[in-house]
Amino acid sequence: EHGRVLYLVSSGVRSNTGELTIHPKLPEQWKSYEFCVEYHGSDMRIKIEQGKVTYKLLNQVPITFKSNHEPITLNKEGEEYVQEI
């Protein structure tokens, strides 16, 4: 449980404003890491690598969120969105 909180905090994942906002960061000494987020029934995998972040919807429940202030919506299971960071 503490590891999960560490990932969410260090990745800039927040939902305290009524919407899911993400400000992905990669610790300098890491090459990549990934984790899953469940938000209002949506399951999404987030993979953060050097220079990019990939969001993938893992179920049929659409999700809308902001990543680095950009609104993103994933509608279909397996749909991915790649953003440069």
Identify the CA nearest to 24 among candidates 75, 15, 33.
33
Give per-residue pLDDT as tens, 34-67: 989 899 999 999 999 999 999 999 999 999 999 9
Give per-residue pLDDT as tens, 63-77: 999 999 999 999 999
Predicted TM-score (pTM) of the model is 0.84
CATH of 2-84, one of 3.40.50.2300, 3.40.710.10, 1.10.10.10, 2.60.420.10: 2.60.420.10
Residue 52 has φ and ψ, to the nearest 5°, of: -155, 160
Both structure tokens of 34: 């990934």
Measured CA to CA, the distance from residue 18 to residue 16 in angstroms comes to 6
Exposed, middle or buried: residue 3 (CB in 10 Å: 0-12, 13-18, 19+)? Answer: exposed
